Amino acid sequence: MPPTPLPSPSVTSSPERAFVSAHLDDLHADLDAWLRIPSISADPAHAPDVAASAEWLAEALRRTGFPTVEIWPTAGAPAVFAEWPSADAGAPVALVYGHHDVQPVDPPELWVHPPFEPTVVEGEHGPELHARGAIDDKGNVAFHLLGIRAHLAATGRDTPAVTVKLLIEGEEESGSPHFAALLQERRERLACDVVVVSDTGMAAPDVPSAVTAMRGLADAEITLRGPAVDLHSGSFGGAVPNPLHAMAELLAELHDEHGRVTLPGFYDKVRPLSERERALMARVPFDEAAWLAGPAASRATYGEAGYSTLERTGARPTAEVNGMWGGYTGPGHKTIIPAEAHAKVTFRLVSDQRPEDIGPLLRAWLEQHVPDGIVAEVHTPPGGVAPCASDLDSPAMDALLRAIGQAFDTDPADVLFTREGGSGPEADLVEVLGAPLLFLGAGLPTDRIHSPNERVLLSMLHRCGRGHRTPVAGAGRPGALGQRVHPAQERAAGQVVRQRLPVLAARQPDLLPVRGVQLRVVPDQGEGGRGRAALRRADRRVVAHPASLAPAAPTTTVAPRWSSVTTRGRSPAADSAATAAGTCASPASNSSAPPGASHAPAPATTRRATASPSSPPSRAVRGSWSRASGGISASAGVGT
């Protein structure tokens, strides 16, 4: 079923939108110039072009107004760093990550237009810009420049509402071999409150969505050796092992009849998808037949049994054969038994898997399966890419959803969650900088990324530019990174659990959460809600705006402090007199806990909160504050 078309961009007007619309020619001119630079990092012959790309971007950032712009050399290709501090004391810091290098263009004969001569083509959904790097990733970087200008023009500010930093890498398409070292070396300059990755996209042109996870990657090259030299197939065929035969058999055994990878231990660390995660993925409209005929260009689906195609491509680990060669492949015949056979394989990884674990698993598996007379060697490059994911319940995610909602003229609660099957250095950003991760990109599955005739739908870039004030420029707005729930509202959370939820259970059963889903007391962004708090499910559906909550005192821009209430699966009637008890726990740990399960003790840095004075002893609400989580959690017996 096709998704419902969204309203026309003309439905909603804003100063940011007006500025972007009036300056689209600036964005197009920038891309026309930048995309002509063949910054192919994988080819050493293009190293001067990668350097020229960095220089072009640095100058564009200075022209935009960034007071600090630097080109950071690495042992490989240069990265570009820029910073624009906010004049507001205590403003949050947002770091935007992208890359300015591009993929090779092979095979060049398949390009309809020259890959480094940007060409606008009228497509089904409007004008498309065709060029290598149009969306991966120069287009995704360029819309930020226009978005920041729009934010400043619309607000009359001369600095952004938050401190904005950019780190644009020069060798992402070569596996980011020097990126982790660069982050370690420059970690103090890169310190931030949130990382915004602009190297992803959305589900469809009319489906506002946010990427919430990317898979990791481990690769290996397998070499099988048989005879010491190539042998005459007539004299020796059928009498000695053939390395190519052995390789074909081994690769065929890499999966079982259910599509699962057969390496022992491969799934041991895989974090299973929760019911909530599967439900969120199932909301994304997906026409499998159109996908096969379009971007997949395939005749049938395949994969691990028990999972949908979207789950297989975004949330499950895989093993793929990328190449296989050996013997004679030239014209005519050369009747030999080859001395060697080779194959390249890659493994996409999901939450809790580590790339460094895959090499030993593969070697152990080969030792058990290689036939007599064949010697196996496995080369695994150092590093690899770890999987990464966003916290669906963080204030930063709420800011992102408002940004996408603004760009698409839709309610943030209607923004869908997707997962990116590809891999990048995002896990390094999280591990080194320790900041929450968001993804904001304008790409589409049909953009032919890494293929001939790469394109970007220009309307997607325009939308992302006009929605830029959040989470980057708008992260300091009410309810975003810098906003907190006032202590009076936090104290009232116990009252909400004790008094309001039984009433809501009777009045709004369809809005109450299921087992393990969190409720949160958040700043009320609704009409007339200023100074109040709203009770809201972790999937962003508002349950109530309790009138009993105390008005908030004036707020200040501080570290996020959000109250949360985790529900447990008992009936509303049974829970009307139940005891509410809790500990400081993350949404992930709460979501999997069975009813009545005990929680891990709070960390040493936790300060216990006392029960509300008005709460009877038998129904007291306990909570705990933690520097790590910054929230109060209480379990309550409401839900189905």
d(CA 188, CA 197): 19
Angle at 479 between CA 502 and CA 555, to 5 degrees: 100
What mean pLDDT is predicted for residues 255-277?
96
**With contact defined as beta carbons under 8 Å apart, do 582 and 623 qualify?**
yes
Is residue 16 very low, low, confident or very high in pLDDT (cuts 50, 70, 90)? Answer: confident
Q: 3-state class of 130 per DSSP?
A: strand
**With contact defined as beta carbons under 8 Å apart, do 456 and 381 qualify?**
no
Which residues neighbour 1 within 8 Å (Cβ) at sequence distance 6 or greater? 285, 287
Percentage of the chain exceeding pLDDT 70: 71
Sheet holding 119-123: strands in order across? 119-123, 126-130, 455-457
Angle of helix 458-466 relative to helix 15-22, nearest 10 degrees, comes to 140
Residue of 20, 154, 150, 166 lying closest to 84 (CA atoms) = 166
Virtual torsion, Cα 24, 29, 31, 32, nearest 10 deg: 140
- Beta strands 68-72 and 119-123 are unpaired
**Three-class SS of 466-527:** HCCHHHHHCCCCCCCCCCCCCHHHHHHHHHHHHHHHHHHHHHCCCCCCCCCCEEEEEECCCC
- Is pLDDT at 640 greater than 80 in this prediction? no
pLDDT digits (tens, 9 = 90+) for 497-551: 445 555 555 554 544 443 333 444 444 444 333 334 444 444 444 444 443 333 3
- Beta strands 194-197 and 93-99 are parallel
Q: 3-state class of 610 per DSSP?
A: coil
d(CA 482, CA 400): 14
d(CA 411, CA 476): 20
What mean pLDDT is predicted for residues 270-292?
94
Mean residue pLDDT across the chain: 79
Percentage of the chain exceeding pLDDT 90: 65
Residue of 497, 522, 560 lying closest to 412 (CA atoms) = 522
Token pair 């390395």: residue = 243
Minimum mean pLDDT range among 33-47, 107-121, 464-478: 464-478
Angle at 401 between CA 558 and CA 22, to 5 degrees: 100
- Is pLDDT at 101 greater than 70 in this prediction? yes
- Beta strands 194-197 and 437-439 are parallel
**Where does residue 309 rank: exposed (0-12), middle (13-18), buried (19+ CB within 10 A)?**
middle
- Is pLDDT at 622 greater than 80 in this prediction? no
What mean pLDDT is predicted for residues 7-32?
79
- Is pLDDT at 237 greater than 80 in this prediction? yes
**With contact defined as beta carbons under 8 Å apart, do 337 and 236 qualify?**
yes
Is residue 406 very low, low, confident or very high in pLDDT (cuts 50, 70, 90)? Answer: confident
**With contact defined as beta carbons under 8 Å apart, do 354 and 269 qualify?**
yes
DSSP 550-606: PPPPPP---S--EEEEEE-S--HHHHTTPPPB-----HHHHHHPPTTPPPPPPPTT-
Instruction: Please tell me the predicted confidence (pLDDT) of residue 471.
Output: 52
pLDDT digits (tens, 9 = 90+) for 377-387: 999 988 788 99
What mean pLDDT is predicted for residues 479-498?
43
Better-scored residue on pLDDT, 46 or 484:
46
Hey, what are 638's tokens? 């409401």
Q: How far from the centroid of its chain's Cα atoms is residue 262's Cα?
A: 28
d(CA 591, CA 585): 10
What mean pLDDT is predicted for residues 163-182?
95
Alpha helices in 156-287 (DSSP H): 179-185, 233-236, 243-252, 275-282
**What's the Rg (C-alpha) of the chain?**
27
Virtual torsion, Cα 604, 397, 80, 141, nearest 10 deg: 170
Instruction: Please tell me the predicted confidence (pLDDT) of residue 381.
Output: 87
- The beta strand positions in 351-406, using DSSP E, are 375-379, 388-389
What mean pLDDT is predicted for residues 288-304?
94
Residue of 495, 8, 425 lying closest to 176 (CA atoms) = 425
**Where does residue 124 rank: exposed (0-12), middle (13-18), buried (19+ CB within 10 A)?**
exposed
d(CA 47, CA 170): 10
DSSP 417-476: EEEE-S--THHHHHHHH---EEE---B-TTS-TTSTT-EEEHHHHHHHHHTTIIIIITTT
DSSP state of 136: T
pLDDT digits (tens, 9 = 90+) for 421-444: 988 899 999 999 999 999 999 999
- Beta strands 163-169 and 93-99 are parallel
